[in-house]
Amino acid sequence: MAAEKLRGSDFEAKVLRSDLPVLVDFWADWCGPCKMLSPVVSEIAAEAKDFKVYAVNVDEEPELASRYGIRSIPSLLVFKDGEIAKQSVGVIPKEQILELLK
């Protein structure tokens, strides 16, 4: 199951107001490293129990990317209680992504 695609209009309700930690993958179709990371994020999304996983296409949601200072993709941001708790830029292994969520 792929990470649910997230629109700017849903960001506050689904991410900032979430009772659970949220992993947000900022990506784009043309991005090679994003294509490498996407299956890993999808796998994590399929296994998610104590957190939520969403994906934001930076080409479709440039205002969100700008709001969170996304300059390089893929970028992973973990939100807890409406705030960025951790972040990572580039391709990282599944274990490191799961560590971000702890």
Provide the percentage of residues in the chain whose pLDDT is more than 90: 94
pLDDT of residue 3 exceeding 70: yes
Q: According to the 3-state scheme, what is the secondary structure of 76-91?
A: EEEEECCEEEEEEECC
Q: In this predicted model, what pLDDT tens digit does every residue of 7-57 receive, in sequence order?
A: 999 999 999 999 999 999 999 999 999 999 999 999 999 999 999 999 999
- Do 23 and 87 meet the contact criterion of CB atoms below 8 Å apart? no
Q: Which of 3, 6, 24, 34 is catalytic?
A: 34
- Do 2 and 42 meet the contact criterion of CB atoms below 8 Å apart? yes
pLDDT of residue 2 exceeding 90: no
Residue 30 carries which DSSP code? T
To the query of whether residue 54 is one of the catalytic residues in this protein, the response is no
Q: Which of 31, 45, 56, 64 is catalytic?
A: 31
To the query of whether residue 13 is one of the catalytic residues in this protein, the response is no
pTM across the whole model: 0.95
- Do 29 and 59 meet the contact criterion of CB atoms below 8 Å apart? yes
pLDDT of residue 1 exceeding 70: no
pLDDT of residue 80 exceeding 80: yes
Query: What one-letter code names the amino acid at 3?
Result: A
Q: What is the mean pLDDT of the chain?
A: 95
Q: Is 26 helix (H, G, I), strand (E, B) or coil?
A: strand
Residue 20 carries which DSSP code? S
The H or E element containing residue 65 is helix 62-67
